[in-house]
A = this chain, B = another copy of it.
Amino acid sequence: MPRVIAEHLRLPPGPVDLAAIPTGATPGFDGGKSDGKEALTELGDELSDLQERLFAEGRSGGHRSLLLVLQGMDTSGKGGVVRHTVALVDPQGIEVTAFGRPTEEELAHDFLWRVRNALPAPGRIGVFDRSHYEDVLVAKVRELVDADEVERRYDAINELEAELVAGGTPVLKCFLHISPDEQRERLLKRLDRPEKHWKFDPVDIDDRQLWPEFRDAYETALERTNTEVAPWYVVPGDKKWYRNLAVGLLLRDALAHLAPTWPPAEIDVEAQRQRLLDEQPVQ
């Protein structure tokens, strides 16, 4: 099981040039598709063990949790990561939130209001399918707010994330990086499959003509929020199996870094065992 994939994916500080980062590569992993799928399956036990420890800690008075933020262009595979990677652990320990277009109520509050409402409970893994980053991406490209407000938001995001990390909730931020050609293939495939038509929004095609603008917005957002405490990981996403595995490995690393331990027994184990062995018959 590869142990060093994070080093390959962690975005270095400074200006970001997404066009220079390959979308079809498999950094840190030598094998092919079937090896990658096998590695993900094998990862399941390790992820489950770590998740269960974190959950146990949360149920025993601990306050730590973890937040996985998934961002990327349409069809980049945010939902696929949830279905294939996050699904490897106990659903009881997972809280998935998909952020859509803000409601009237959400718009009446600061942009982080709905995010704060969706933060994971102690011991849980929160998963954001889109997130507060939409508020400096689509909001910027479509000029829903002015430039000053976008600037303010970068800072507000960094403050929120620093606060979360300091409070025991690491923030694992993954940008799922696909090429425009791969997106086109995926949109065409959706059109081929009637059971995917409900997901199809013609705006997704319009947005392709804004690809450079969205890429610019991503580059700035990634640079401005690529902090020491909550860095970005750029996950090549053209190969779905690699994307699923890479996020799984990053999640494993983040959980392992938390190093949740089984809460100590607050009981006299021997005495409790003896009680069961000595008890009056129950029927």
B82–A279 CB distance below 8 A: no
Dominant SS at the A interface? helix
Q: Given the complex, which residues of B lie within 8 Å of A272, measured CB to CB?
A: 191, 200, 202, 205
Stretch from A28-36, A83-91, A145-153, A229-237 that touches the partner: A83-91
In Å, the complex CA distance between A91 and B56 comes to: 20
Q: Given the complex, which residues of B lie within 8 Å of A188, measured CB to CB?
A: 273, 276
Stretch from A101-109, A131-139, A160-168, A262-270 that touches the partner: A262-270
Name A175-205 residues within 8 Å CB distance of B. 180, 184, 187-188, 191, 194-195, 197-200, 202, 205
In Å, the complex CA distance between A202 and B275 comes to: 9
Q: Given the complex, which residues of B lie within 8 Å of A20, measured CB to CB?
A: none
In Å, the complex CA distance between A269 and B197 comes to: 8
A4 at the binding interface (Cβ < 8 Å):
no
Stretch from A92-100, A111-119, A240-248 that touches the partner: A92-100
In Å, the complex CA distance between A279 and B184 comes to: 10
A279–B209 CB distance below 8 A: yes
B282–A194 CB distance below 8 A: no
In Å, the complex CA distance between A198 and B58 comes to: 11
Known: A56-B199, A82-B90, A184-B282. 18 other contacts (CB 8 A): A19-B283, A52-B195, A56-B198, A59-B198, A83-B90, A87-B90, A91-B91, A180-B282, A180-B283, A187-B276, A194-B262, A197-B263, A197-B266, A200-B267, A202-B275, A205-B276, A209-B280, A211-B282
Q: List 16 A-B contacts (CB under 8 A).
A: A56-B199, A59-B198, A82-B90, A82-B92, A83-B91, A87-B87, A180-B283, A184-B279, A191-B276, A197-B262, A200-B267, A200-B272, A202-B275, A209-B279, A209-B280, A211-B283
